[in-house]
Amino acid sequence: MKIVATLCGIALIAVVLWEGFETIVLPRRVTRRFRLTRLFYRRTWLPWTKMVRTFVPARRHETWLSFFGPLSLLLLLSIWAGGLITGFALLHWAAGSAVLTRDGSTGFLIDLYMSGTTFFTLGLGDAVPRSTTARFLVVIESGMGFAFLALVIGYLPALNQSFSRREVSISLLDARAGSPPTASEMLRRHGHERGMEALRQLLHEWERWSAEFLEGHLSYPVLAYFRSQHDNQSWLAALTAILDTCALVMAGVEGACERQAELTFAMARHAMVDLSLVFRTRPHEAEHNRLPPEKLMELRATLTAAGIKLHEGGAADLKLTELRWLYEPYVHALAGYFRVSVPPWIAEEDRVDNWQASTWEPSGIGRMPAERAKGEHF
């Protein structure tokens, strides 16, 4: 029995340490099929979303879904700590429960208490090791406790910084592509005299953003569960709008920055595909076409009115369809898993941007009068 306890304790400690190493320290995607951390998130995220849909009013869904990321991270860290404490308690018990207490109590619960106080370096002195093996285990566990605390202290700030960098660029899209961001608004608002140069710069920035996003979310996959500040914004919607815009430019927008669009499209699709692999969301075709022929005609009319000419004809439509097929199946798979809305190609009429709205202002205050706003855009 003690041999079994020893093997179980060593295995539990090894699994927790390896999971922590892969999650916190290892800066690359883990390709192993079975992984406890991935299993943990799948077994907690899906019930959480089901609970939210069942018991929470629809207007509060996004708020409750946003709680999952931080709470799951705290729970995961607690599970790791509990696993290490239990593993060392098993080793103490297998070594004969060589723990001296003031009342002379022994047993697995005393070993568990000894392991817990050692791991968190409490130093209470009411339970002390009384054999060489027990003292050796105490030294090792106390060192792991310090290392665990140091990793958590370094991990959480890095996580918050990566999240902040991601959200800054998403917020900047508000005035450039609407809320939620759409390809039609992004192109329409760059229809002014120097608009194409501004669009080229924007796509260049999002090429780098996509690379940073990919690196950060491969290193810290839990970030994908952290939701944006506004209900109509998300990393998935922003990335989709950028891909839509690049696809339109590549399919044929006269005078546009086609080369930069190709570079940004490649990096953004790379990020989308790799995230789909990390969360094992199998790409699939959407139930409804995001851009049916009638919507494409409306999109062309909208862009023409803004001074942007989109190529017409079967060749242009075929190229746009081929480009969409390269990323839309991954978008729909990730959107279904994370319970995020996929943005439309064309912005809804009379939809105000987030910067134009405020809960402190009555309807209409802070809005430009209709006679002044008519025909004006960014």
Q: What pLDDT is stored for residue 155 in this prediction? A: 84
How confident is the model over 81-102, as a mean pLDDT?
87
Task: Report the 3 state secondary structure along the chain.
Answer: CHHHHHHHHHHHHHHHHHHHHHHHHCCCCCCCCCCHHHHHHHHHHHHHHHHHHHHCCHHHHHHHHHHHHHHHHHHHHHHHHHHHHHHHHHHHHHCCCCEEECCCCCCHHHHHHHHHHHHCCCCCCCEEECCHHHHHHHHHHHHHHHHHHHHHHHHHHHHHHHHHHHHHHHHHHHHHHCCCCCHHHHHHCCCCCCHHHHHHHHHHHHHHHHHHHHHHHHHCHHHHHCCCCCCCCCHHHHHHHHHHHHHHHHHHECCCCHHHHHHHHHHHHHHHHHHHHHCCCCCCCCCCCCCCHHHHHHHHHHHHHCCCCECCCHHHHHHHHHHHHHHHHHHHHHHHHHCCCCCCCCCCCCCCCHHHCCCCCCCCCCCCCHHHHCCCCC
Mean pLDDT (the chain) is: 86
Where residue 29 falls among pLDDT bands split at 50, 70, 90?
low
How confident is the model over 20-31, as a mean pLDDT?
73
Q: What pLDDT is stored for residue 31 in this prediction? A: 59
- Tens-digit pLDDT profile for residues 297-331: 998 888 888 888 888 888 888 999 999 999 999 99
- Tens-digit pLDDT profile for residues 57-78: 988 999 999 999 999 999 999 9
How confident is the model over 200-226, as a mean pLDDT?
92
Full-model pTM: 0.84
How confident is the model over 148-170, as a mean pLDDT?
88
- pLDDT higher than 90, residue 378: no
- pLDDT higher than 50, residue 193: yes
Q: What pLDDT is stored for residue 232 in this prediction? A: 86
All structural domains of the chain? 2-153 (1.10.287.70), 157-348+364-372 (no CATH)
